[in-house]
Amino acid sequence: MAHRLRVQDESRPPPPSRTRRQTFLLASLLAFLATACSTPVTGPPPPPPTDGYVVGAPDQLLVHILPEPVIEREVRVRPDGMISIDLVGDVQAAGRTPRQIAEAIEEEISRFKRDATVNVEVVTSPSRFITVFGEVGTPSNLPLERETRVTEAIGQVGGTRPFADLNSVRVIRQRGLEAEVLDVRLGDIQRGDLSTNIVLQEGDLVVVPATFLARVGYTLQMIFFPFQPVIGTFGSAGASATGLQSVGAF
């Protein structure tokens, strides 16, 4: 009887060792953390349509006139809002869209060119500005001369400071009499999620706030050292300790 019981016991699979159980649990934990912390790679949103862009001084325009002989000129809008075109002279440009400028040139040049076709493109548009301020290297206004996304604008002002709250960036956009607030998550953008890396529009205000602890530190600084520049002190100290966090590489 004892021999039979011993044989039955040997036929059972041996219990897993503690080391194997620990290895399995550790692998499961690492897999869970990798899934929970990973950020999906998402493309940036499309740029807004530019058909309604209104030209202003000192925008630079490219004017192309057909048929032969072809006239092609790069002209800058003068402070009086005019541009000068061959055979036509001065044409009002400021306050008009590129299509309206082309139609005005077509009407004037039809006396010299039959069936004239005019195309007007905006080469640079320094008449449009955006503003970036807060926890950035050099808060300032930037000319909106081409398609610019949030990360590019922040990179142009020196990147973010060490105390910036990267996932609380806001873009304030004027919509008539109301303001629209758009959330930008720079931290997620750095990890590959570009869904909030929006294209900026004329007049946009990009606000890069400080973290909660930094705001508390600024408040204490103002209380105990009211005559010492707050942002300069914390910014220079943080920059020397950890360096500037730049997003200009995006």
pLDDT of amino acid 240: 33
Query: Is the peptide bond preceding residue 67 cis, with omega within 30 degrees of 0?
Result: yes
Our CA angle for 156, 120, 123, nearest 5°, is 20
As a whole number of angstroms, the distance between CA 238 and CA 163 comes to 7
Q: Check: CATH 3.40.630.30 for 129-241? A: no
- Mean of per-residue pLDDT scores for the chain: 79
Domain covering 60-124, topology: wza like fold (3.30.1950)
Domain with CATH 3.30.1950.10 in the chain: 60-124
**When comparing pLDDT for 16 and 141, which is higher?**
141
Burial of 199 (0-12, 13-18, 19+ CB in 10 A): middle
Q: What is the pLDDT of residue 5?
A: 47
Q: How far is CA 166 from CA 151, 189, 211, 212, 247, in A?
A: 11, 9, 8, 12, 10
Give all strands of the β-sheet with 129-134 in edge-to-edge order. 140-143, 129-134, 205-208, 169-175, 178-184
119: enclosing H helix or E strand: strand 117-124
At residue 237, does pLDDT exceed 50? Answer: no
User: Does the pLDDT at position 12 exceed 60?
Assistant: no
Q: What is the pLDDT of residues 51-98, one digit of tens each?
A: 567 888 888 999 999 988 889 999 999 999 999 999 899 999 999 999
pLDDT of residue 235: 45
Residue 73 and residue 70: Cα distance in Å, rounded?
Answer: 10
Q: Give the total residue count for the chain.
A: 250
Domain with CATH 3.10.560.10 in the chain: 129-241
Q: Which one is predicted more confidently, 5 or 200?
A: 200
CB-based contacts of 94, cutoff 8 Å, min separation 6: 55, 56, 57, 77, 81, 82
Query: Is the pLDDT at 41 greater than 90, yes or no?
Result: no
Structure confidence by residue, pLDDT tens digits, 147-188: 899 999 999 999 999 999 999 999 999 887 888 999 999 999
Q: Which of 123, 121, 112, 122 is nearest to 67 (CA)?
A: 112
**Beta-ladder partners of 133:** 207
pTM across the whole model: 0.55
